[in-house]
Amino acid sequence: MTANSRCSAAEPPGLETQRREIESLLRECELRAGDSWYVVEHRWFEQWKEFVDGGDQNSSSFPGQIDNSDLFEDLDSYHLKERLVENEDFVLVPAEAWHKLLAWYGMVDSQPPLERKVVDLPSTLKVEVYPVEVFLCLHSNMENVITAQFSRTDNIQSIQRAMCQSFSVPSGSECRLWMKSSDTNCERLRNIHMSVLDTCLSSGMVRTHCDVTDMTSSAQIDAMTSSHQNSVEDQDSYRGQPGVCGLTNLGNTCFMNSALQCLSNTPPLTEYFLQSSYLEELNFTNPLGMKGEIAEAYADVIKQMWSGRHYSVVPRVFKTKVGHFASQFLGYQQHDSQELLSFLLDGLHEDLNRVKNKEYIELRDADGRPDQEVAEEAWRNHRRRNDSVIVDTFHGLFKSTLVCPECHKVSVTFDPFCYLSIPLPVSKERVMEVFFVSLDPHAKPVQHRVVVPKAGKVSDLCLALSEMTAVPPTQMVVADVFNHRFYRIYSDDESLSCILDRDDIFVYELSVLEEQDQVLLALYLRERSHYRDYGSGSSSYGTTLFGHPLLLNVRRSSCTADELRPSQTELSCSETSTNSRSDDTATAAPPPDINHKQPSLDRGDTETCTESHNQTEPRCITDASSTPADNAIPSGDSTRSADANVDLEPAAEPSESTEEEKEENKQEEACSPSPPPNEQPAKRRACHKRRKSLFTIQAVNSNGTTERGTGEGGSAVSFSSLTFPVNESRFSAAQPYVAIDWDPDMKKRFYNENEAEKYVKHSSMEVPQQQATVQLQECIELFTTVETLEEENPWYCPVCKKHQLATKKLDLWSLPEVLIIHLKRFSYTKFTREKLDSIVEFPLSLSNGEPPSCYDLIAVSNHYGGLRDGHYTSYAMNKDNGQWYYFDDSKVTFATEDQIVTNAAYVLFYHRQDKMRKPTLANPSTGPAPSRSANDITSCKDDDAELGAASYVTMETD
């Protein structure tokens, strides 16, 4: 018996007690360094909450055992998937809450608990969901690599100890650790007392090379040290174009590299740092600043990038400083380049603010004064408190006009801005991909692509699908299928925003029944294990879900234990056909179609054992022309095939009955209909002896597990509490679920899993989706459109003396030397998160009238991919030679102007034409970029996991 099995045997308290205890622990438990918290799969936890909120111990929302399967890349290594999101993919619970849940529900066998420690990081306490994975190896044997995990609070010495222990390094040997980055640069980790966090080690970045030599071989070690420091690039001898320099990816830091490349190619800011002007303006006393540390770290990166001596720079110190002062950028998760840019501009401004003591300034109302006068006053007031190179370069003024809807009071203010965040026109329609499951038992599921209103309801989805299938929307039901079960069955009036693009949505066609008293029956497929699970405290078989679940429209009178049992054994006297195939696969009678007529769950639908008019002996109906693959069992022809075989129990070859089969025969004979009076008992026994059930029927909960208190063949199949007809309300908390439990041998013999997973594509899937295209000017106009304030953010009207939902309009009053435009591609609402992939056609020269409103594009930050993953790169024009380059972390290549406008463009940098100076160098000829094979990253894919896998730490011993 496993520990998990022991835990599952504990009797939990009442649902209200469970809810109260766990909620109390989640609410009151604080993060403390060193404490353990546990990772729990979000869907399971949400189902548990629904279960305990329902107040019914036998609720269909019973969550079953704790199952974290969806969090793992595979179930062999139990390695966590990358980029899991808290409260979307998983939840964190304190140790006490975890142990309670484990004792009440148990855990899926063999799964390890995901225990994680609370670490004390700079300025924050955090549960370390992803420890740092480090590759360790000897310098003398690079092929023998060991993976070890370390907390970010561990010091380098702990890595050294683990390395010595793993490779049996002799005691007394002198060890030297080297960190090898993705572009093959090596850095000596001299201070073994520094933390993993401070050295910016990330998963996949550390490989320890260890040389074990005599103490007299120090010269050899020094030679190797020198070669490591210079790296294979021999950067001391390299001379290249200043600014044309890559940035090493430290592990999911492409967002930072993209922002840095854009700022690096902003001429006024870069020249300010290259000329060391910042040294005289560092502000070490500003309480809003970072004591000059961010400015100094940024200056160091810029000077290296513009030295012309490096193919690529490792911004490790800069990354560390950013993490110290902005905890959201700690660790190595993917972040937003615009968010990093916003933090960096603000941090540089405060570190370089020439105003040492900010005075208090009381703002005056416009009070009817001319806009020009009010604007100049606002700008003067802003500069009295904020005066830096960032303000000089990037700050402009908005004109904000508010109008009270009641008294029509007009309030005009002028507010500074550092960049524009402008919205993209959002389509009112949405494209969804769904699978339609027809009533036709031989039809495979069909994948459709439908266009629905973005703010529509599930009924709109059914209506759109109806136009393609000619099936009335009233005969459709929509469900989210997850792990072979229904994660959610939607009602017609639910919002489509509840359905995410990544959900597997199935739309089932329902049969039309004349009776009003109908039930929407959910049907699961399960495979029984060969052995009973005596260890769990019951004698029932263990089961595993498989295949696609089904939804059926059936009469309520058919959904009882009495109706299910007889229909389950009606075919118990089917004999093997004398004409059966040589491979011993028995033929069987074609099953009744429960979708198009009265369901075969009802008693007496099919007469199987009948008496021949010409014979005195009973015979069993067989059809030598029909095979199990065609008629008897679910196969690739349809996920619906299972509907048509609820009654089927085909014959099998004669064999000796086991004790378990004898017991089953007793139970089945007890509930079988009475045999014809002239049937001979010996013949009947022989028929039962040959028969082996294809499957049995069991009432289950929505999770696909047997209801509590209901064993195999139990009597809890009762839906008498349901009173609604299907056509009025097809869904309720008491949604009935039934499982067909297959015998393993029968499943292997008759169920074709490969065929069952197949589907066909509708012609709508072949139609290419039109790429939406908008003009930059449209986005700016949308940004300056009049809007009404939201209820969460009202305006206090000084005339009405109360908060009002005023109308607001923003206008661009004065523009800065460098205009940064952030395209708001990421949309977040209460229910949805999406990325807008529209192509924004932005000009290389932006003009809004006469100078100084004319700008030239100088840099673009790009984002490829979706919300939860992706990759950042950048285009930028070198200030010295006017050539465009494409920066992809360490890789730098030539670019042309026609490559720049793509649907990946995220942040745009424009430089005012009257402030630009002509390039001092000739534009290099276009063609292949200089060869940099040691630094090249050959893919723009979801980036950073691949990049990290190529980086290491080196260790050597004397």
Q: How far apart are CA 699 and CA 555, in angstroms?
A: 16
Q: How far apart are CA 473 and CA 508, in angstroms?
A: 10
Phi, psi of 422, deg, nearest 5 = -110, 140
Answer whether 818's CB lies under 8 Å from 268's CB: yes
Q: Using DSSP, how many helices (H) and how many strands (E) does the chain show? A: 21, 42
Q: How many alpha carbons lie under 13 Å from residue 185 in its C-beta half-sphere?
A: 20
Helix (H/G/I), strand (E/B), else coil: 804: strand
Identify whether 871 is a catalytic site residue: yes
- The string of DSSP codes covering 43-108 is HHHHHHHHHHHHT-TT-TT---SB--GGGBS-TTT-PBPTT--BTTTEEEEEHHHHHHHHHHH-B-
Annotate 394-413 with b (16+ C-beta within 10 A) or e (fewer). bbbbbbebbbbeeeebebbe
Identify whether 863 is a catalytic site residue: no
The answer to whether the bond into 852 is cis (omega within 30° of 0) is yes
Q: How far apart are CA 805 and CA 797, in angstroms?
A: 9
With CA atoms as reference, report the closest residue to 69 among 584, 429, 483, 353: 483
Q: How far apart are CA 330 and CA 320, in angstroms?
A: 8
- The string of DSSP codes covering 276-345 is TGGGGT--SS-TTS-TTHHHHHHHHHHHHHTSS--SEE--HHHHHHHHHH-GGG-TT----HHHHHHHHH
DSSP state of 629: I
Catalytic residue among 200, 871, 911, 940: 871
Catalytic residue among 7, 186, 210, 254: 254
Q: Which residues contact residue 546 at a Cβ distance below 8 angstroms, ignoring those fewer than 6 apart?
A: 484, 525, 526, 527, 747, 753
Helix (H/G/I), strand (E/B), else coil: 807: strand
Q: How far apart are CA 450 and CA 447, in angstroms?
A: 10
Query: Where do we find the tokens 């403390």?
Result: 32
Q: How far apart are CA 97 and CA 88, in angstroms?
A: 19
Report residue 2 as tokens. Answer: 């496993």
Other Cβ atoms closer than 10 A to 112: 9
Question: For 710-784, where are the alpha helices, taking DSSP H only?
Answer: 744-750, 753-756, 776-783
3-state secondary structure 414-469: EEEECCEEEECCCCCEEEEEEEEECCCCCCCCEEEEEEEECCCEHHHHHHHHHHHH
Answer whether 887's CB lies under 8 Å from 873's CB: yes
With CA atoms as reference, report the closest residue to 688 among 649, 632, 744: 649
Q: How far apart are CA 138 and CA 170, in angstroms?
A: 13
Q: How far apart are CA 698 and CA 706, in angstroms?
A: 7
Answer whether 810's CB lies under 8 Å from 784's CB: yes
Report residue 56 as tokens. Answer: 């019914």
DSSP state of 919: -
Q: Which residues contact residue 211 at a Cβ distance below 8 angstroms, ignoring those fewer than 6 apart?
A: 138, 139, 140, 220, 221, 224, 956, 957, 958
Q: How far apart are CA 362 and CA 295, in angstroms?
A: 31
Report residue 69 as tokens. Answer: 């399967």
Name residue 716's amino acid: A
Q: How far apart are CA 746 and CA 632, in angstroms?
A: 11
**Catalytic residue numbers, as ranges:** 254, 871
